[in-house]
Amino acid sequence: MPIPLRIAILGTGFLARTRARCWKRVHGGALEIIVAARDATKAAAFAREHGLAGGVSIDAALADPAVAVVDLCVPNSAHRPLTERAAAQKKHVLCTKPLAAFHGQGLAAEATAAEFTATSRTAMLRAAVDDGQAMVAACARAGVKLFYGENWIFSPSLQKAAALGASSRGVILEMRGHESHSGSHSPYAKEWRHTGGGSLLRLGAHPIGAMLWLKREEGLRLRSRPTVVTAVSGEVADLTRALGTAATEIATGWNGVENWGACVLHFDDGTRGLAWGSDNLLGGMQSHLTVLASDHRLECSLSPNDAVAAYAVRDGAFAGQYLQEKLAGQAGWSSPMVDEDWTSGHQQLVQAVANTLRSGVPFAADGELGVDVVRVVYSAYVSALEGRRVAILP
């Protein structure tokens, strides 16, 4: 009987819950899913709650020779050290976005939020890119794979758009994409120290990753080399500073990072992409990409979509049923998500990881793509602060 593929989810937060649901639905062979955390007791409780094989400490998971891949659902600052430790133990790594970030490299441990905010954006860029490149190098040396966990790329919308584009004679001329919602209410999302940036990094990284991937694939198909970004123009702001005493359900209290960020991507074939992330949207999450090509147009709606439309006369009318991420109530019209893990691409992402490990089929999003996203985002931060277009550094 084949030995089950053992997956170790590292972390017990929001993303770990998503991954637990998705890994349990992977098909094509037996899986054994464990969860690991710094506190093994917490990991064991999470495993019981989600019906997983067991919970252990992170050290135990990394030392377990049966673990084939670690799924990093941990703070950004832990991405590089855990990737390097996992690679040294010959384990493949699935790392969510952003692959790497600025979390105080070079600053004193007791550095204040103001000192983080005052850090040179170019220094942030170099620190984040260096970490991402070190992760790619560690996995290459060890002969293991670094899977970049950009779920947008694996969503049904983006996969269909890519197939349609590849079948046409067109060239993508312009892309516009965003992810927006009412903002994280976690204090950890509101400082450079914990996230490495604001909405452009947390939310805008999704459409940026999708755009880079679509143009990379188009370039390989049409001119035998990837189409890449050569320069970025960025703008960022904390729009909640305009609120004054106005009442709001939008998250406030941002401490140095933006709650709105946008950037223009300048591709080496002369085309453009516009990506933004916003924490100022009420009424649920919106994740959307528009593709304008020379002979077609594509509209990709990850969230919401119109598979189901619902109307309720009062909040709670649907007896506690989940409708959509970041949707505050049930009254009025809404777009209940049939399967958010599927429409967002998280389900197909982990399925693709399993397929690659079992049969060697190519994986769409590698570590190099993750590094490219980091370059774009932090170059946009440089651009926003300095008020100029910024060339992408190698």
8 Å CB contact between 67 and 31: no
Q: What's the pLDDT at 306?
A: 85
Please compute, for residue 195, the number of CA atoms within 13 A of its CA located in the half-sphere on the CB side. Answer: 22
Question: Can you give the residue ranges of every domain in the chain?
Answer: 5-149, 151-391
The pLDDT value given to residue 289? 98
Q: What is the mean pLDDT of each run of 10 residues along the chain (394 residues)?
A: 86 96 95 96 97 96 97 96 98 97 95 94 98 98 98 97 95 98 90 95 98 98 97 98 94 95 98 98 95 97 91 89 88 89 97 96 96 98 98 88
Q: Determine the pLDDT at residue 337.
A: 85
Q: Is the peptide bond before 207 cis (omega within 30 degrees of 0)?
A: no
- Residue 276: is it exposed, middle or buried by C-beta count within 10 angstroms (0-12/13-18/19+)? buried
State the burial class of residue 2 (Cβ atoms within 10 Å of its Cβ: 0-12, 13-18, 19+): exposed
> Which percentage of the chain shows pLDDT scores above 70?
99
Q: pLDDT tens, 85-117?
A: 999 999 999 999 999 999 999 999 999 999 999
Q: Is 107 exposed, middle or buried (0-12, 13-18, 19+ CB in 10 A)?
A: middle
Say whether domain 5-149 belongs to CATH 3.40.309.10.
Answer: no
| The pLDDT of residue 1 | 52
Spell out the CATH class of 151-391.
alpha beta
Between the alpha carbon of residue 275 and those of residues 232, 278, 290, the distances in Å are: 11, 10, 10
Give the integer Cα–Cα distance in Å for 27 and 88. Answer: 29
In terms of Cβ atoms closer than 10 Å to its own Cβ (0-12, 13-18, 19+), residue 225 is: exposed
Task: Please check whether the two domains, 5-149 and 151-391, share a CATH topology.
Answer: no
pLDDT in the model for residue 123: 97
Give the pLDDT confidence score for residue 2 in this predicted structure.
Answer: 67
